[in-house]
Structure 1
Amino acid sequence: MAMLKLQHGFNIHSGAANMTLLFEGQENHLVPSTSQILADSDLFVVAGRMIGHSFLSDGPRLHGLSKAIIHMLVHADRDTVTVQLDDVPDLDIRSTICMLDGNKHLTEQQKDDINNLAISWDLPPVSAENRRWLFQQLLHHAVIGRTKRQTKHIRKGLKDTGLLTMLQQRPDTASVVFPQHEDSILTAQAVLSHIVWPGDEGDDEDDDDPPYPLSIQMQTVGFLKTYIETATPFQLSQLMRFWVGWEIPTGTMKVEVVKADYLISSTCFGTLHVPGHFHEYNVFSKHVDDCIATCATGFGLI
């Protein structure tokens, strides 16, 4: 749940919005928020600790960070970082900087917009001689300069958990600690590969009083497999949040067929308790949809 909040925002009422994002921008180009309130707090140090502890516990990762920010977290070297226009989260600033890209003639209004931005960041006005240089300076400041303090705080949090040392000694592990967005997209096969089904561990042989005959258990297991194989990405995401508390399957996820009214999850143990009283798949499927839709308000509460 902590990593879910870190990825999608906290309910901190800062006066601007009900949801406070620590990372802004588009997927694979997320950068730390430039909010002065957040920069003045220790929240980014906490974020670094959260990332570190979750990784060390084989938990979910923070995905979709800009490669420029990942580079700064690992190397802290502005001279060797590569920044892209898509890394600029503010679309107005991005469009202004984009005017400098190339050799297209600049109108007086465009020059005014560029100069206003440059002067606000203590940079000189645009000219024919400094156009390319100014483009790079504005781009780097928009992404790296404005987030320097936040990145430093995240590094401190990572250092507190020991993860920063690993990243510095093995820079190739950065892609594992900070995966891209496409690596977090759920597939049915990814979910199925983590599941331990009834009988897989031989537990049923020691159960003197199974809740249902083997045929009923296998029918229920078949229903669940069919649901996972035909589910939409959104349904898989909800099922994972209901099952393990996060949108990405982690560790071992166990299935138990039980006598119960509703689908219930023991998220801490990664165990899904599936009622075995269903005889039709369409009824089973609707029941699962109804239950997992409650993951935002309380697991298993309908």
Structure 2
Amino acid sequence: MISLDQKDLKILRLLLNDGRLSYEKIAKNVDLTPITVKNRITQLIHDEIITDFKILVNPKILNYSVCYSLAYLKGDPNKHALIEQLGDNKNIMGGHVNLGNYLSIIHTFKNHSDLLNNIQFIRLFEEIERLDDFILLFPEMNFQNVNISKNDWLIINALKNNCRKSDVEVAEELNITAKTVKHRLKYLKNNGIIIFMVNLDTSSGNLLTYNPIIKFKSITSKDLIIINKIVNDPFYIWRITNEEAMIYSIYIKQLRDLEEQILKIKQMENVIEIINLVPTKMYFFKSWIDDLIEDKAQID
């Protein structure tokens, strides 16, 4: 088992917020030198804690929504093989293999018919007993005046398999200036069009990801405030639109570290159920969005 210290965990936490965050900015946050941060990230990649860095185009800009489907599995199937088979569907962006008999499947849809087709496809697999489907609420963004240029698509395509390429590397690849790359990436990120992501395999290290789904009788803004006070530094919180529920994600060293936190959440007046999920590996698949990026980046 690979041992990760608090500095490693803080570096991972920062990268989960922004997979392209510079070594210099990370160094300031963790009280290390940039070269030490670079060496630690290189080691995390070598140890396969970090499996890759991705750039994600926000499906909302393309008029798509995102569904998080929780699959309850029969028996003891090969979960890794199953999720890779599910990834053959271009609407399935990725998912998590969890401890226990659960898979988390993340897929995109444009309308109700699309959503039903995705769900029917997932249910075809005999290893899946049933599904809970949660539509994720993305932050409201005003995309009306956003312009994605040809150069933007070229830059996105250049970064799609490694979002930590430097501005200079991308500029040389595309025969444009590094200043242009930096300016356009800042524009795309600040307008919520792209997200820089890191893919982790926590099974290799001495940490776990806790990713519960909390169901409420009726969720209120007060409930969200209480959850934020109870939960220690989540790296994301998702509201659900089709159900009174939310999902959050944090790092933990061991499951017993959660006992007090789970008890406090269970004692909340509106909470009716907590589905405890511990992902061990994240998967990202080549989806229709990747095909669109490649198509938009084609030289005319």
TM-score (normalizing by structure 2): 0.20
Using CA pairs under 8 Å that are at least 6 residues apart, name the structure with larger relative contact order, 1 or 2: 2
Q: Higher Cα Rg: structure 1 or 2?
A: 1
| Bigger fraction of residues in strand | 2
